Structure 1
Amino acid sequence: MKKIFLFCDAGMSTSLLVSKMREVAKKHDVNVQIEALPFARSFEIIEKKEVDCILLGPQVKFLLKDIEEKCAEYNIPVDVISATAYGTMNGEKVLKQAIKMIRGSKKN
């Protein structure tokens, strides 16, 4: 099972998007665990190597450079969710983004 974590300011605004992503994953029988957490927990999660992919909410995209450096140490792919996909709560598009990132990572 692959683990996908979405980080935002407090971990709450991405909850609906996570629900949409889970629906799509279940519909297509994709074995993933998807969680939404506050950005403050990101480094803890990365250091425990408990994640296969990290996506940032558009509201914390300014933190991308900081988290990219930490993720590089563990070969964890990280990116920002597009404002459009986030704003429309397009779970399918965001799940596809995460799966593509996981498949392209050196970790696998």
Structure 2
Amino acid sequence: MKRILLACSSGMSTSLLVQKMKEAAEKRGIEAEIWAVAQDKAESEMSHADCLLIGPQMRFLKKKLEKTAEANGIPLDIIDPIAYGRIDGEAVLIKALDLIGE
């Protein structure tokens, strides 16, 4: 089971992306728990995830979240703005799997 956490300003703008990622995972036969949270919940939710992807509009949080991520051994990165804008669940899923090492 892959556990992929997305963080954005309110947790709402990524909800459609989460759905598209779940559909892409299902098509690939990958068991995945994918969820989105608001930026203020990212640190507390991180311990339940295999990786964290940050919405491109929240890139300024990367340095702050990196400390917690490193302490927990969780890779994190910023979602590609083009994939985010296109709501390309397949591309973002691939990015997450790459971070996890799959």
| TM-score tier after normalising by the smaller chain length | over 0.9
Deviation at 1:45, TM superposition (A): 1.4
Give the SS at the match of 2:65: helix
State the TM-score, normalized to the length of structure 1.
Answer: 0.91
Partner Cα distance (2:95, 2:79) in 1: 8
After superposition, residues 2-81 of structure 1 pair within 5 angstroms as 2-46=2-46, 49-81=47-79
RMSD: 1.0
Deviation at 1:70, TM superposition (A): 0.9
Q: Size of the alignment, in residue pairs?
A: 102
Q: Aligned partners of 1:15, 1:33: CA distance in 2, in Å?
A: 13
Which whole-Å deviations, capped at 9, do the CAs of 1:46-91 have from their partners, x for residues lacking one?
Answer: 3xx2110100001101100000111000110000001100001111
What residue is the counterpart of 2:93 in the other structure? 95
What is the DSSP-based 3-state SS (H/G/I as helix, E as strand, rest coil) of the residue aligned with 1:79?
Answer: strand
Q: 2:23 and 2:84 mapped to 1: Cα distance?
A: 16
Higher helix share: 2
Deviation >4 Å, runs of 4+: none
Give the C-alpha shift of residue 22 in structure 1. Answer: 0.5
Structure 2 gaps, min length 5: none
Separation (CA, whole Å) in 1 of partners of 2:14 and 2:42: 14
- Taking the aligned partners of 1:54 and 1:16, their CA distance within structure 2 comes to 17
